[in-house]
Amino acid sequence: MATIKQTHDKFLLACDENEKYAYNGQELYSQGVQTGPIIFDKNMRDLVVEYSFMKLFLCWEDFLEKVFVKYCLDFEGANGNKLIRYVNPRDEIHAYEMIRGNNSYPDWTNTDKIIKTAGDFFENGGTFLNLKLKIADINDTKIIRNALSHMSINSKQKFETLVRTRHGHYPLNTTPADFLTWIDRRNRTSPITYFNHYVATLKFLSTEIVNP
């Protein structure tokens, strides 16, 4: 089984790769790149950016699960320290079953549930308590993910509210890719897109989690 440091390194690489894909998609669209009769249009840009974001979110969920299980098995963090455990599972499968409890699977999109479970498994919730540092951004990523994976009215309304909150207003027919490629107005000193901002947030949180 990979170490926590190796798991973290893999996640950071996935962050960089998906950030690059999203950037390239936006660049190809803005430059109007054409290959034969095919023009890299807005629909193609949206597909690339939104797929990259979904991959990023899935990698985040996978990272959380793998690291949580490893800490349950008494693995060292990237800095060589360990969490104080309240559990002692036999192996990886047993650890997963303990985390899952009576549910079909652990919900790694529910930050409150993760923090609560971590409090049951580790002293003071271990490093997973650091998720509270960026709770608003984590909730943003879930809203965007739901807007991409669900077609419900509720998901659409939550996405529109997110855009209004972060951007100041909701331009008609804004897609998740539109929003993700806009400049994040909160970062005035170093203008970056919302995609860049969320990548930086997940990188920061992952580093906090793997260093007890």
Per residue in 36-93, pLDDT (tens digit) is 888 999 999 999 999 999 999 999 999 999 999 999 999 999 999 999 999 999 999 9
- pLDDT at residue 80, rounded to an integer: 97
- pLDDT at residue 35, rounded to an integer: 78
CB neighbour burial string for 108-146, b if at least 16 within 10 angstroms, e if fewer: bbebeebbebbeebbeebbbbbbbeebeebbebbbbbbb
Lowest mean pLDDT among 47-61, 91-105, 183-197: 183-197
Work out the mean pLDDT of the chain and round it to a whole number: 95
Of 158, 199, 153, 205, the C-alpha closest to 180 is: 199
The sign one gets for the Cα dihedral 15, 157, 164, 129 is: negative
Three-class DSSP category at 150: coil
Using CA atoms, how far apart are residues 192 and 57, in angstroms rounded to an integer? 19
- pLDDT at residue 171, rounded to an integer: 94
The yes-or-no verdict on residue 188 having pLDDT over 80 is no
pLDDT higher at 189 or 140 = 140
Percentage of the chain with pLDDT > 70?
A: 100
pLDDT average, residue stretch 146-165: 95
- pLDDT at residue 187, rounded to an integer: 74
The sign one gets for the Cα dihedral 43, 36, 34, 197 is: positive
What pTM was estimated for this model as a whole? 0.95
Region of residue 204 (phi > 0: left; psi between -120 and 50: alpha; otherwise: beta):
alpha
Q: Count of alpha carbons within 13 Å of 134, Cβ hemisphere only? A: 21
190 secondary structure, DSSP code: S
Three-class DSSP category at 39: strand
- pLDDT at residue 191, rounded to an integer: 85
Of 138, 135, 6, 125, the C-alpha closest to 70 is: 6
Q: Confidence class of residue 34 from pLDDT cuts 50, 70 and 90? A: confident
pLDDT higher at 75 or 185 = 75
Q: Confidence class of residue 29 from pLDDT cuts 50, 70 and 90? A: very high
- pLDDT at residue 148, rounded to an integer: 96
